[in-house]
A and B are shown apart, each in its own frame.
Chain A
Amino acid sequence: MEFAELIKTPRVDNVVLHRPFYPAVEGTLCLTGHHLILSSRQDNTEELWLLHSNIDAIDKRFVGPLGTIIIKCKDFRIIQLDIPGMEECLNIASSIEALSTLDSITLMYPFFYRPMFEVIEDGWHSFLPEQEFELYSSATSEWRLSYVNKEFAVCPSYPPIVIVPKAMDDEALRKVATFRHGGRFPVLSYYHKKNGMVIMRSGQPLTGTNGRRCKEDEKLINATLRAGKRGYIIDTRPLNVAQQARAKGGGFEQEAHYPQWRRIHKSIERYHILQESLIKLVEACNDQTHNMDRWLSRLEASNWLTHIKEILTTACLAAQCLDREGASILIHGTEGTDSTLQVTSLAQIILEPRSRTIRGFEALIEREWLQAGHPFQQRCAQSAYCNSKQKWESPVFLLFLDCVWQILRQFPCSFEFNENLLIMLFEHAYASQFGTFLGNNESERCKLKLQQKTMSLWSWVNRPSELSKFTNPLFEANNLVIWPSVAPQSLQLWEGIFLRWNRSSKYLDEAYEEMVNIIEYNKELQAKVNILRRQLAELETEDGMQESP
């Protein structure tokens, strides 16, 4: 298929663009295979370059010969184009619709994008599982790398290399995989060096209604506990949901068969419930006509902050089990690709100082989301303005980012990165020129040959010029566990994401700038003082030498 077939009208003049916080601009609208471009053809006015894949929904309106297209983006921005001429307007609208919903991944922009920057470090090789494992292997010999999933034969949503208990051979792992949803046998997610306890994650056990068991599964899970130690299985579903899952062949671990383990049920919502929550929240944020009380009740009705609280609470509980109880954890929900990953990754943010650095956080995203098989392609296909209620679209990753932001807000000096990094990750998960978030798992990414055909997001982010935008000037390495508050009073709406297009951030930006200035000036003085001290010391020793005969 050629893009040209989809573009009936590639150019329209005298189009007026309205967007938040900018005066209206008149210019020429151009459609390319991947971008919607508006250029005023004046040197100093900014142009609009919008990825078609960022478009979530469009509305058309006509008043006489003047057509209006309202474009609702996946990053929640809403822009309006006034297009003279009904035919042009209809053509543009249908082209945008077609181009923003391409059915083949290989037609997406990352496959066409050629970077204008020099690649210093290829992000596709920045976070190799072997390297990550080395961080653990010095501390423990109880775990090993397994290549059992080399051809994605055992578990299609796992990466080729996983970390498993040393005591389990690959044959046993294959058997365990048949007992776990999607073949997702328990693997190591995090090793807590302080006390040797671990977080593992998996899919639900396929016990079914007649209580099927799997000796290898029991052996694997028990093998991770030393004698006399206890563990907790955190099921992210409420008990009744887990019980209902048995009817469909799923289920949960019977404690009798895992005697050292206690099971805890939490209730993190999934799929369309989260998607509806997002839709309601963004609707409330965009509607500025209602009064104060209405706003709070709509915020409440969206349940977004309730989901945040539930996810954070579960992550804190997991971290608490590990750090305070000295117990290992196994976490799963149904598939083990959504709420499970929210919990395992947030627990690491709380426990592991490294995951609060830029590099460590990227590694966490790579390990716990991309490699772990969170289906980005499905979950992020549509955003808050979609009306096709597909079951698999869900802002699971955005909720995770929001939770990280909540912790960052409570510990503003303990993170090497700032809010901008989180916002950037949100944007790229939904629409990007990079291949990182394409596909639903490593197996699909492999088949698409993303490493060869597209650029990694990390290749771009980790360049010094970009990194500076994402660096938190307040950062001071904090090697402690950080325990966030999950009380409703402590959780806030993430304005940087949800009110980004509804309120001017001028004064907040100014404050940020001032903060940077204060810290930069301090560093500058520090450097100057150090130089002078050295000079002085040198002069004084010279002096001393002259003095002594």
Chain B
Amino acid sequence: MLIDLREEYKRMGLPNNYWQLSDVNRDYRVCDSYPTELYVPKTATAHIIVGSSKFRSRRRFPALSYYHKDNHVSICRSSQPLSGFSARCLEDEQMLQAIRKASPGSDFIYVVDTRPKLNAMANRAAGKGYENEDNYSNIKFQFIGIENIHVMRNSLQKMLEVCELKSPSMSDFLWGLENSGWLRHIKAILDAGVFIAKAVSEEGASVLVHCSDGWDRTAQVCSVASLLLDPHYRTLKGFMVLIEKDWISFGHKFNHRYGNLDGDPKEISPVIDQFIECVWQLMEQFPCAFEFNERFLIHIQHHIYSCQFGNFLCNSQKERQELKIQERTYSLWAHLWKNRGDYLNPLFRDDPSQTQGTLHLPTTPCNFMYKFWSGMYNRFEKGLQPRQSVTDYLMAVKEETQQLEEELEALEERLEKIQKVQLNRTQVKSKQSEPSKHSGFSTSDNSTANTPQDYSGNTKSFPSRSPSQGDEDSALILPQDNLKSSDPDLSANSDQESGVEDLSCRSASGGECAPSEDSGKDPDSDEAVFLTA
């Protein structure tokens, strides 16, 4: 099995003196949206866990998400406590104490409620709420205002409307982007991740994270923090494990959130999309820290919606087990792993500052670090993307380098042999080595590169599709094949040519325009195909 969570917990250094695998949720007896295998503090007895689970929304009791073995500090996750205005639960208090005691280096733990304070307070009226610092010993309680799924859904909707504007002005675009609030939300999630990563790595304090049910914002924040803390999650395999752990196993409701089945539209929300975008924003800031590239993220996002693979079906592990998803469907991870050559980041460095340990984001609020991700949200408008890919170029160079290394070795061997043979004065015929062609690494999409766009600015349409309507694979998976450029999506973008016709529509004198010559076959494009062939 490619992705094995038992292996993952072992990698984290578990079980150990403080943490153990609990079977309390065997057969989903305690919590049906949790996995059966969970790590909890050794001192947390089944009685404490069950008691605590009764005091938590949907019985999602505090369980381990990530263990930082460098300093024996943990990130745990749960749902909100059913505290109402004054309710208490001894077992829950003991549970948190057990978590604190499981990291002996620190005398307190952070409890991070990822909701805005107002939302959390409103929940108290419904008998839910947040931890009262007075009732729990040695906790530091902290709100981090990430908005709920409804706000996020509307935000994405607004941003996609901006992406779909026909020939927007710069102001339309920036205003729309700002009004959507999307980047503000992305930043809030990253800020929360940074807060937790700092608490763990710098303060050496364990953190319990929750939101309302503990399967949306909690998943986002735990996985961002883990990614910041542990270089393993920045590798191809590690990233798959991370999604498997924090999202799939902990019961993120994929069916509901991504509308896999006809259901309540109010349940739909781009929760994991936001996490994936957070990773992209980090990749932009730390270009050498990730083993995978942007294409990897886009393809994962695509398949979360495509339902082509079984990984993202159902709302919980329990449902997946009942439907025998593992036996009846293919896993995306195997598919991605098989094609991993397409997903590598050529700049990834194993050794230096970026990949070792924690990624440190600047402490000052640098808003300008958060950028619009056109590679994702305008990915079907090839004309909007950079026309030459540095990633593909460098991958081609690296591939050639590898071939050269092999050839060099072969040549050296042969040379040695011949020299030996000559010494012996024996005559051996050897074949002329095949000259390897140095054929450049032109990875540019020259066919679109050489088609002017509409610069008169009023006819061009950019039909943008929302990412939730994934395209068929052929359009999406265009890794290195665009060299051969047989993909009709890439070469024959007649849309892009429309600009030629309406050049003088802005002419002052009534816009009368001599009929433009039929541009017919595009000589440059032909040339381009010729050159890259």
Chain A contact residues, CB within 8 Å of chain B: 230, 232, 239, 255, 262-266, 285, 288-297, 299-300, 303, 305-306, 308-309, 313-314, 316-317, 319-321, 323-326, 409-414, 474, 476, 478, 480-493, 495, 499, 502-504, 506-508, 510-511, 514-515, 518-519, 521-522, 525-526, 528-529, 532-533, 535-537, 539-540, 542-543, 546-547
Contact = CB atoms under 8 A, between A and B. Distances in A.
Contacts of A487: 167-168, 381, 383-384, 453, 462
Interface string B143-186: 00000000000000000000100011111111101100101100
Contact of A480 (B178, B286, B419, B446): B446
A523 to B, nearest CB: 9
B418 A540 contact: yes
A540 to B, nearest CB: 6
Contacts of B173: 488-489
B107 interface: no
The 3 lowest CB-CB distance pairs between A and B, nearest first, are A488-B173, A511-B287, A300-B174
B509 A263 contact: yes
A492 B187 contact: no
A285 B397 contact: no
A544 to B, nearest CB: 8
Contacts of B488: none
Given A319-B452, A483-B449, A539 B444 contact: no
B366 A502 contact: yes
Contacts of A532: 408, 411-412, 415
B394 interface: yes
B339 interface: no
18 contacts: A262-B509, A262-B513, A264-B507, A265-B508, A288-B364, A296-B174, A300-B170, A300-B171, A412-B388, A487-B384, A489-B173, A499-B368, A507-B289, A508-B287, A510-B287, A522-B397, A525-B408, A539-B415
B61 to A, nearest CB: 35
Given A324-B500, A521-B401, A525-B401, A317 B441 contact: no
B51 interface: no
A361 B406 CA distance: 39
B486 interface: no
Contacts of B370: 292
Interface of B: 163, 167-175, 177-178, 181, 183-184, 187, 285-289, 346-347, 349, 352-354, 362, 364-372, 374, 377-378, 381, 383-388, 390, 393-394, 397-398, 400-401, 404-405, 407-408, 411-412, 414-415, 418-419, 422, 427-430, 432-433, 435-436, 438, 440-444, 446, 449-453, 455-457, 462, 499-500, 503-504, 506-509, 513-514, 516-517, 519, 524, 527-528
A263 B506 CA distance: 9
A535 B415 contact: yes
Chain B CB count within 10 A is highest, among A288, A293, A499, for A293
A413 B433 contact: no
Given A324-B452, A511-B287, A522-B404, A503 B170 contact: no
Contacts of A255: 509
A412 B455 contact: no
A234 to B, nearest CB: 10
Contact of A490 (B352, B368, B374, B500): B374
Contacts of A518: 346-347, 394, 397-398, 401
B366 A288 contact: yes
A414 B506 CA distance: 31
Contact of B365 (A291, A474, A504): A291
Nearest to B444: A413
A543 B509 contact: no
A294 B398 CA distance: 42
B444 A488 contact: no
Contact of B184 (A291, A325, A491, A492): A291
Contact of B419 (A326, A489, A539): A539
B170 A547 contact: no
B507 A412 contact: no
Nearest to B175: A300
A482 B172 CA distance: 26
Contact of A485 (B177, B383, B397): B383
Contact of B427 (A309, A483, A511, A546): A546
Given A288-B365, A292-B187, A295-B367, A543 B422 contact: yes
A290 B349 contact: no
A521 to B, nearest CB: 6
A298 B441 CA distance: 40
Given A539-B415, A540-B418, A515 B394 contact: yes
Contacts of A547: 427, 429
A411 B286 contact: no
Given A476-B440, A533-B435, A317 B455 contact: yes
Contact of A526 (B170, B438, B455, B457): B438
B288 A263 contact: no
A255 B507 CA distance: 11
A484 to B, nearest CB: 8
A297 B175 contact: yes
B475 to A, nearest CB: 18
A306 B171 contact: yes
Contacts of B393: 412-413, 474
A522 B400 contact: yes
Contacts of B369: 503
A506 B384 CA distance: 28
A324 B453 CA distance: 11
Contact of A411 (B354, B418, B449, B507): B449
A323 B430 CA distance: 53
Nearest to A284: B368
Contacts of B415: 532, 535-536, 539
Contacts of A292: 183-184, 187, 367, 370
Contacts of A502: 366, 368
A308 B170 CA distance: 9
A300 B175 CA distance: 7
A495 to B, nearest CB: 8
Nearest to A320: B452
Nearest to A508: B287
A478 B444 contact: yes
Given A507-B286, A518-B347, 6 more contacts: A300-B170, A317-B503, A411-B386, A412-B390, A483-B450, A543-B430
Contacts of A323: 452
Contacts of B349: 510, 514
Nearest to B289: A507
Contacts of B500: 320, 324-325
B517 A326 contact: yes
Contact of A313 (B430, B444, B455): B455
Contacts of B429: 543, 547
Nearest to B449: A482
Contact of B386 (A326, A409, A476, A488): A409
B504 A232 contact: yes
Contacts of B453: 316, 483, 485-487
Contact of A533 (B411, B422, B504): B411
B440 to A, nearest CB: 6
B163 A480 contact: no
B499 A320 contact: yes
Given A300-B170, A324-B519, A325-B500, A529 B407 contact: yes
A295 B456 CA distance: 29
A525 B405 contact: yes
A320 B503 contact: yes
Nearest to B412: A532
A507 B288 contact: yes
